[in-house]
């Protein structure tokens, strides 16, 4: 369970911070051009942070107290393969969920 104080602190701070990120250029910087190196780094934030967040969760899931779990590993693999081949977000989620439940059912 999530406690109420950290939850609301995160909601408000994340909301304000996200707005500032959206506003920073269109609101403040205006038409001044931006250094290329900055834009180049911003392009790689999501492709780097999301995998960094996922990797430990896949290999050592908190739900199994960090033990490597075959159904979860297979599920992540299925989602990756389907997302890679089809580029379909929904398809990948469905593939991952199906393999997860199949695996959990097989594992008893």
Partner 1 sequence: MQTTKSPYRQGIAAGLPFILILAPFGMLFGVVAAEAGLNIFEALVMSALVVAGAAQFTALQLLSEHVPTLIVIVAALTVNLRLAMYSAALTPYLGSASLPVRVAVAYCVVDQTYACSVAAYEQNRHWTLRDRLAFYFGVATPVMPNWLAFTGLGALVGEAIPPGLALDFAIPITFIALAVPMMRTGAHRVAALTAVVASLMLTWLPYSLGVIVAGMIGMVVGAEVERRTEMP
Of the candidates 64, 62, 57, the one whose C-alpha atom is nearest the C-alpha of residue 79 is 57
Of the pair 26, 67, the CB lying nearest partner 1 is at: 26
Q: How far is the CB of 67 from partner 1 (least distance, A)?
A: 13
Tokens matching residue 64: 């199994």
User: Between vectors from CA 106 to CA 100 and to CA 108, what angle results, nearest 5°?
Assistant: 105
Q: Which of residues 65-104 bind partner 1 (CB under 8 A)?
A: 72, 75-76, 79-80, 83-84, 87-93, 96-97, 100-101, 104
Cβ-based burial of 95 (10 A; exposed 0-12, middle 13-18, buried ≥19):
buried
Q: Which residues contact 98 (CB under 8 A, 6 or more apart)?
A: 78
Q: Which of residues 13-42 bind partner 1 (CB under 8 A)?
A: 13-19, 21-27, 29-31, 34, 37, 39-42
Q: Which of residues 46-65 bind partner 1 (CB under 8 A)?
A: 46-63
Of the pair 48, 106, the CB lying nearest partner 1 is at: 48
Cβ-based burial of 89 (10 A; exposed 0-12, middle 13-18, buried ≥19):
exposed
106 interacts with partner 1 by CB under 8 A? no
Of the pair 59, 106, the CB lying nearest partner 1 is at: 59
45 interacts with partner 1 by CB under 8 A? yes
């Amino acid at each position: 369970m999530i406690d109420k104080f950290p939850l609301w602190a995160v909601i408000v701070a994340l909301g304000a911070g996200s707005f500032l990120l959206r506003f920073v250029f269109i609101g403040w910087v205006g038409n001044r051009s931006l250094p290329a190196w900055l834009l180049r780094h911003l392009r790689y934030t999501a492709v780097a942070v999301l995998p960094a967040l996922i990797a430990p969760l896949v290999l050592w899931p908190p739900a199994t107290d960090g033990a490597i779990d075959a159904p979860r590993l297979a599920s992540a693999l299925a989602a990756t393969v389907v997302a890679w081949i089809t580029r379909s977000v929904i398809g990948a989620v469905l593939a991952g969920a199906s393999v997860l439940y199949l695996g959990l059912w097989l594992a008893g």
